[in-house]
């Protein structure tokens, strides 16, 4: 049962008790049930039409939020199994980690955070918790109120990348692709979701992530540090044989490692170039070139996860579950992932055409929020119209509008904007 016995009754508890519905159904662990609920959730399907780096409509090859989440889930499951923790928990957390992202990814998050200042801001991870515990309909409590997917405490805790409220968030660092300073705070719960958050965090130690959340977080870093490079190479935006180190290192410092020196970053890149599958000739689109690129991504993922597994085992005897141990990520691994992310950021995220598109996206979302806030329940889908009716004040009604807009895909955001503006 994949070390199921290491997870006690509190870890398996749900906010609303749910015994198995059918005695003749296949026997599943509580965490297998959690995974199934996530896979079948409508919010999971919407990820297929949400931006990862470039819009999902732009190319059949590039990742969208769903394919990215599937890849994160595979990395998380394999690492979890290797550590001896429950892989269904880590996989479900990975599948869920981007559910709260609005249309246009972090660019959309930036807009909603600014517009939602009066109702507690916006953060994709806090929105994920809200989806899992309120907005995604699966279970209701005795009063008829939605409790979302009603996941177990251990799984819900693993889905929480930033286990603290907005008031405890650190000041953001770095800049956006357009050079403006980052202002979005990183936190994992809105104030009106504190009751379920506090229930979930029973037994937690301060602001510490549980081990399974650490695995999810690391798997996310591994996946996008490697796969954003792969997408950039195939899109002919990144040539791994020709990297302008002076410019790229500035981007790395702006986005990820503000104190890293050129010498450290250059040495890190030299180490990555020592990976046997690092390309020696430019990508040309052939099957041979595609296969070589896939070998590189596989080697890099193995390199990062292997280093983490080795360091984690060296630091503790475990068991590697919940709060009994921590994941250990070697500094060299952090540097290598940051260098890869910086290469993608410089050549893809900071490209002039993408920055121009992002400006238009932010304008569209801002107009959409304004129109929906003015129209009220007549412009909202039924669940959100009901939430509007139950809202006690303007701040609560703005939160409903933001919940609605955040639920949209890239395509539906364009469609809603066009439809509402033309009425």
Q: Which region among 39-43, 47-51, 334-338, 391-395 has the lowest average model confidence (pLDDT)?
A: 47-51
Of 43-57, 143-157, 263-277, 332-346, the one with minimum mean pLDDT is 43-57
pLDDT reported for residue 55: 44
- 19: pLDDT strictly greater than 90: no
Read off the pLDDT of residues 228-263 as tens digits, 9 standing for 90 and up.
999 899 989 999 999 999 999 999 999 999 999 999
Tell me, what's the pLDDT at 56?
A: 42
Tokens 């990508």 locate to 283
Instruction: Evaluate if residue 25 carries a pLDDT over 70.
Output: no
What is the structure's pLDDT at 102?
Answer: 94
Tell me the C-alpha to C-alpha distance, in Å, between residue 327 and each of 85, 203, 221, 232, 414: 12, 18, 14, 30, 41
Which pLDDT score, from 0 to 100, does residue 172 have? 85
Q: What is the pLDDT of residue 180?
A: 72
**Residue at token pair 């009604």:** 397
Q: What is the pLDDT of residue 26?
A: 67
Question: Cα dihedral sign for 74, 78, 83, 88?
Answer: positive
20 and 161 part of one domain:
yes
**Predicted local distance difference test score (pLDDT) of residue 106:** 86
Assess whether 158 and 107 both reside in one domain.
yes
pLDDT at position 358 is 87
Q: State both tokens at 291.
A: 């296969």
Range of the domain at 383: 355-421
* CB distance 215 to 327 below 8 Å: yes
Residue partners of 104: CB distance under 8 A and separation at least 6:
50, 51, 55, 358, 361, 362, 365, 410, 413
To the nearest whole number, what is the mean pLDDT of the chain? 91
Token pair 């286990």 is found at: 163
- Which residues are CB-neighbours of 133 under 8 A, at least 6 positions away? 15, 147, 148, 149, 156, 193, 196
pLDDT tens-place string over residues 220-233? 999 989 999 998 99
Query: What integer is the mean pLDDT of 191-217?
Result: 96
Tokens read off for 353: 């055409």
**183 and 53 housed in the same domain:** yes
Cβ atoms 90, 76 nearer than 8 A: yes
Q: Of 331, 352, 373, which marks where a domain is finished?
A: 352
239 Rama class: left (phi>0) / alpha (psi -120 to 50) / beta: beta
Does residue 22 contact residue 30 with C-beta atoms inside 8 Å?
no
pLDDT at 57: 45
Give the bridge partners for 181, in sequence order.
175
The verdict on 55 and 196 lying in the same domain is yes
pLDDT band at 24 (very low <50, low <70, confident <90, very high): low
Q: What is the pLDDT of residues 122-180, one digit of tens each?
A: 999 999 999 999 999 999 999 999 999 999 999 999 999 999 999 999 988 876 666 67
Q: Are 297 and 314 found together in one domain?
A: yes
Q: What is the pLDDT of residues 70-120, one digit of tens each?
A: 999 999 999 999 999 999 999 999 999 999 999 998 889 999 999 999 999
Out of 164, 188, 207, a domain closes at 207
Percentage of the chain modeled with pLDDT above 70: 93
**pLDDT for residue 23:** 60
User: 346, 247 in Cβ contact below 8 A?
Assistant: yes
Tell whether 140 and 228 lie within a shared domain.
no
Residues 406 and 307 both lie in one domain: no
pLDDT higher than 50, residue 217: yes
Does the pLDDT value for residue 1 go beyond 70? Answer: no
Q: Are residues 298 and 363 in the same domain?
A: no
Whether pLDDT at 182 is above 90 = no
Coil/strand/helix, residue 330: coil
Contact between 81 and 321 (Cβ < 8 Å): no
Q: Are residues 108 and 149 in the same domain?
A: yes
Whether the pLDDT of residue 58 is over 70: the answer is: no
User: pLDDT band at residue 60, thresholds of 50, 70 and 90?
Assistant: very low
- Is the domain of 53 the same as that of 12? yes
Query: In this structure, are 39 and 140 located in the same domain?
Result: yes
Helices (H), 84-210: 87-96, 105-115, 124-130, 153-158, 194-200
Q: Check pLDDT > 90 for residue 303.
A: yes
Chain Cα centroid distance, residue 9 = 28
DSSP state of 138: S
Domain count, the chain: 3
Give the pair of three-digit tokens for residue 372: 């929906």
What is the DSSP annotation of 38-64? HHH-HHHHHGGGSBSSS-TTS-SSS-B
Instruction: Kindly report the CATH number assigned to the domain that includes residue 156.
Output: 1.10.3210.10
Q: Which of 336, 352, 368 is the last residue of a domain?
A: 352
Shared domain for 287 and 144, answered yes or no, is no
* pLDDT for residue 262: 97
């Amino acid at each position: 049962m994949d070390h199921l016995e290491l997870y006690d009754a509190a870890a398996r508890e749900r906010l609303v008790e749910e015994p198995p519905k059918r005695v003749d159904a296949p026997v599943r662990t509580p965490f297998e049930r959690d995974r199934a609920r996530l896979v079948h959730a409508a919010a999971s399907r919407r990820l297929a039409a949400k931006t990862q780096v470039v819009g999902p409509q732009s190319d059949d090859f590039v990742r969208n939020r769903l394919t990215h989440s599937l890849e994160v889930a595979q990395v998380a499951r394999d690492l979890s199994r290797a550590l001896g923790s429950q892989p269904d928990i880590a996989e479900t957390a990975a599948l869920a980690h981007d559910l709260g992202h609005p249309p246009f990814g972090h660019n959309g998050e930036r807009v909603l955070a600014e517009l939602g200042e009066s109702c507690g801001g916006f953060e994709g991870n806090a929105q994920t918790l809200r989806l899992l515990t309120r907005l995604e309909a699966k279970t209701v409590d005795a009063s008829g109120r939605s409790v979302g997917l009603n996941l177990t405490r251990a799984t819900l805790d693993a889905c929480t990348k930033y286990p603290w409220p907005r008031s405890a968030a650190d000041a953001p660092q770095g800049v956006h692709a357009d050079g403006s300073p980052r202002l979005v705070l990183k936190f994992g719960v809105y104030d009106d979701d504190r009751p379920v958050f506090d229930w979930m965090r029973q037994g937690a130690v301060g602001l510490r992530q549980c081990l399974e959340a650490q695995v999810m977080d690391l798997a996310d870093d591994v996946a996008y540090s490697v796969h954003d490079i792969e997408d950039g190479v195939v899109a002919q935006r990144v040539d791994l044989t020709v990297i302008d180190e002076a410019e790229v290192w500035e981007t790395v410092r702006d986005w990820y490692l503000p104190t890293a020196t050129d010498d450290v970053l250059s040495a890190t890149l030299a180490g990555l170039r020592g990976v046997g599958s690092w390309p020696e000739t430019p990508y040309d689109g052939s099957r041979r070139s595609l296969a070589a690129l896939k070998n590189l991504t596989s080697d890099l993922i193995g390199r990062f996860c292997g280093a983490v597994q080795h360091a984690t085992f060296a630091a503790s005897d475990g068991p590697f579950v919940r709060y009994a141990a921590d994941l250990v990520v070697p500094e060299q691994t952090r540097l290598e992932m940051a260098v890869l992310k910086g290469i993608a950021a410089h050549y893809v995220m900071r490209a002039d055409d993408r920055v121009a598109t992002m400006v238009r996206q932010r304008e569209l979302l801002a107009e959409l929020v304004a129109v929906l806030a003015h129209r009220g329940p007549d412009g909202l889908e039924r669940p959100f119209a009901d939430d509007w009716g139950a809202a006690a004040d303007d701040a609560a009604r703005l939160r409903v509008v933001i919940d609605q807009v955040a639920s949209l895909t890239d395509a539906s955001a364009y469609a809603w904007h066009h439809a509402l503006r033309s009425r």
